[in-house]
Structure 1
């Protein structure tokens, strides 16, 4: 039985005096995140030379970044702009599900990307035969379907709890910990289940990535030339940077009982992962990537040469694929 029709999100009350400055900063970062990830998807889609496993998995990760930030930030910006702090019950529960579904998917995506880099560096002669189009598609489906299955059942349980009194959530979005704090029932069991889910998803993904990178680093050390070592490391340095930031933030926030911890610190850390990291990751993945830079220059040159060529090329590509 649900008696609450909406929740109140406290957000960052200490920044109320700088509300419009905060709005401008978050909006700018959101636009950078959306533009950067859409640019990655567009360039990879249009440039045949980027139709390879590494960029296929990067595209999947970019879709996750886009969805993860879009499910939270527009509502956050609306509340800041209109100086309101409410969210409907259904919207709140949808936010909980989509946020954690995307989060679980991104963990698996990062693991798959680690496996791809391990295969490319440690087994270069077998790479093309191992990383076939079929395997890439199956691994990507594993990430999205697996993330959905892992989170759906737990989200249904959270949705079915009775919420019948206090409806103030000390967060800027509907995070599961603050939600469970206002439930009119004992949430110990679902918190423990969520904690163990976190251990399975996060630690399983982290250990897999750690083993992959241990093998990668060992293989790079065995390369005799400094130029060879530098080139090999550059192919995985961007992914390693995102892995370090992503896992550090998620371990800090979620590998503890859901309703525990300093809410102010959690909000700041989650703001980094949901706003700052999606804005930075396109640059991290492409800044030192010469193949992507060449492909981007080629796509932009065609577009500047003929204003309609970009749309025409996109339509032709879609037609050929169908």
Structure 2
């Protein structure tokens, strides 16, 4: 009737320290992303497609960490990890759905940079407000039926024997390890979905950036090249971090075969990267920094 999430129970002396660290990280993610949403929504200088996508990305990050970190904090506080099958299925479904949305939204943001740099004269026409809304809506909605189908397929499997999940949230690899019978079809389905939602968007991003870099190198002005690179570097950094860890998790030959290493990799893309994203986007973007100073100036005066 229920699973038990082991989480970080193998480090009993660090439970309260980890609770304090993860609580601080969660509050930092909420605060930083909320500020980005606020300034991209109300600052007149940031009413551009690039910042519209960034505001949506920040909202997505808040949703993404809220699916995993509060549950992890509760388990650290109570030092119990029991979770019902329905709650486990719901958590898995939301993690996969929001992770897929992040892959697609990062691809949309790469396409926006491609149009801005490679086709600047038609940028306002191609990336009009209606198109931006449609791209964001497609990123949020397109993965929902696939994710629900995959989650149902996994939880219709019989579970017997151990009910202990060696992880801090209900992810596909550790849950599949507990299933009885043949899970070959499910593992193939995981690979197919991972290819569609991780590798295909990643390849599209690579193609976009290869064309972007080619166009940047053709610019005669060194200042123009520097500005073009600065607008793309933060997004490219986030892409490399997120796709790198997600690929290792869902496309490794034997799911979660590394135990503690699997948890560490999952911590990267569920906790650490969402913490770094606001820092990466704010420190490397002059418009965001100017808007942030204006906001802080208003608050303190």
Contact 2:8 2:15 in 1 (8 A): no
Which whole-Å deviations, capped at 9, do the CAs of 1:79-132 have from their partners, x for residues lacking one? 112211211221111110000000100000010000001111111111111100
Matched, 1:150 2:146: yes
- Aligned pairs for 1:151-190 within 5 A: 151-190=147-186
- Give the TM-score, by structure 1 length: 0.90
Contact 1:7 1:168 in 2 (8 A): yes
Match of 2:6 in 1: 10
Instruction: Show structure 2 runs of 5+ residues with no match.
Output: none
Match of 1:130 in 2: 126
Give the C-alpha shift of residue 201 in structure 1. 1.4
Matched, 1:291 2:287: yes
- Aligned pairs for 1:1-322 within 5 A: 5-256=1-252, 259-305=255-301
Classify the secondary structure of the residue corresponding to 1:71: helix
Where does structure 1 differ by over 4 angstroms across 4 or more consecutive aligned residues?
Answer: none
Instruction: Show structure 1 runs of 5+ residues with no match.
Output: 306-322
Distance 1:260 1:272, change over 3 A: closer
Could you say what the CA RMSD is over the residues aligned between the two structures, in angstroms? 1.4
- Give the TM-score, by structure 2 length: 0.96
Of residues 235-244 and 46-55 in structure 1, the stretch that sits farther from structure 2 once superposed is 46-55
Give the C-alpha shift of residue 42 in structure 1. 1.2
Contact 2:249 2:255 in 1 (8 A): no
CA distance in 2, matches of 1:17, 1:219: 54
Give the C-alpha shift of residue 293 in structure 1. 1.7
CA distance in 2, matches of 1:217, 1:155: 39
Classify the secondary structure of the residue corresponding to 2:83: strand
Give the C-alpha shift of residue 259 in structure 1. 3.4
Give the C-alpha shift of residue 62 in structure 1. 1.2
CA distance in 2, matches of 1:150, 1:52: 31
Give the C-alpha shift of residue 196 in structure 1. 1.1
Contact 1:176 1:258 in 2 (8 A): no
Aligned residues: 301
CA distance in 1, matches of 2:184, 2:139: 28
CA distance in 1, matches of 2:30, 2:256: 32
Classify the secondary structure of the residue corresponding to 2:142: helix
CA distance in 2, matches of 1:161, 1:200: 23
Give the C-alpha shift of residue 140 in structure 1. 0.3
